[in-house]
Amino acid sequence: NAGVTQTPKFRVLKTGQSMTLLCAQDMNHEYMYWYRQDPGMGLRLIHYSVGEGTTAKGEVPDGYNVSRLKKQNFLLGLESAAPSQTSVYFCASSYSIGTAMEDTQYFGPGTRLTVL
Amino acid sequence: SQQGEEDPQALSIQEGENATMNCSYKTSINNLQWYRQNSGRGLVHLILIRSNEREKHSGRLRVTLDTSKKSSSLLITASRAADTASYFCATVLTGANSKLTFGKGITLSVRP
């Protein structure tokens, strides 16, 4: 099993450009998440999904959109990138019980994004 | 908002010593989890402890939870250079749709 994979690993954008980050998991997990990690801030939840076709906002959703068209994939989009979105982005997935996010999360290796 | 706060922010020890890291939180939790992150990598789950548990072990790791003090500790015994990493505690609050909230992390350096 590959677990959670993310593409690309690195990307440099100019302000105003758009891009999509792809996350894929092969563990048949219902829940998927996108986080950003900034120095001294820990991980902050951007958006998450509790199942195919569903998405919900996390702590810092502004400037991002997501889609979960297939259970195994979770896409994070930046429509008009800004320097404040320079960060490391992590995708995660979990098998959760009922409606509660109680279980272990499995993380991808991250995407390092720089917006100039 | 930051739910879990780790202490200390950084810790440097000699190989073979024990490392103790602490996490405090503010409101009632369903469970508390510890994760490790090696430099430039994703987070890896270490241990999950539920609110009705007081202690769990996994290899050289021991986690305790004191819900009356709203605190947890992670003990790594007989540390190795390979334990050098950042360690995060994360909490899931009680209630439906509660999310996993991470602290800012502890940087552990184990000197050979």
Question: B30 touching A, CB under 8 A?
Answer: yes
Q: Do A92 and B43 count as a contact with CB atoms less than 8 A apart?
A: yes
Instruction: Classify residue A95 as exposed, middle or buried by CB count within 10 Å of its CB (0-12, 13-18, 19+).
Output: middle
pLDDT value of residue B39 = 92
C-alpha torsion angle, residues A114, B2, B3, B5 (rounded to 10): 90
Each residue of A94-116: pLDDT tens digit? 987 665 666 789 999 999 999 99
CA distance B77 to chain A (A): 23
- Tokens 């050098």: give the residue: B84
- Residue B1 pLDDT greater than 60, yes or no: no
Each residue of B11-29: pLDDT tens digit? 999 999 999 999 999 988 9
Question: B103 touching A, CB under 8 A?
Answer: yes
CA distance B21 to chain A (A): 16
Q: Are A109 and A6 in contact (CB under 8 A)?
A: yes
Q: Are A110 and A88 in contact (CB under 8 A)?
A: yes
Residue to mutate among B100, B102, B106, B107, with most A CBs inside 10 A, is B100
Task: Report the DSSP beta bridge partners of residue A65.
Answer: A77
Each residue of A31-84: pLDDT tens digit? 999 999 998 778 999 999 999 999 999 999 999 999 999 999 999 999 999 999
pLDDT value of residue B94 = 79
Mean pLDDT over the full length of chain B: 92
Q: Kindly state the helix (H) or strand (E) to which residue A45 belongs, with its residue range.
A: strand A42-49
Cis omega (within 30 of 0) on the bond before A83? no
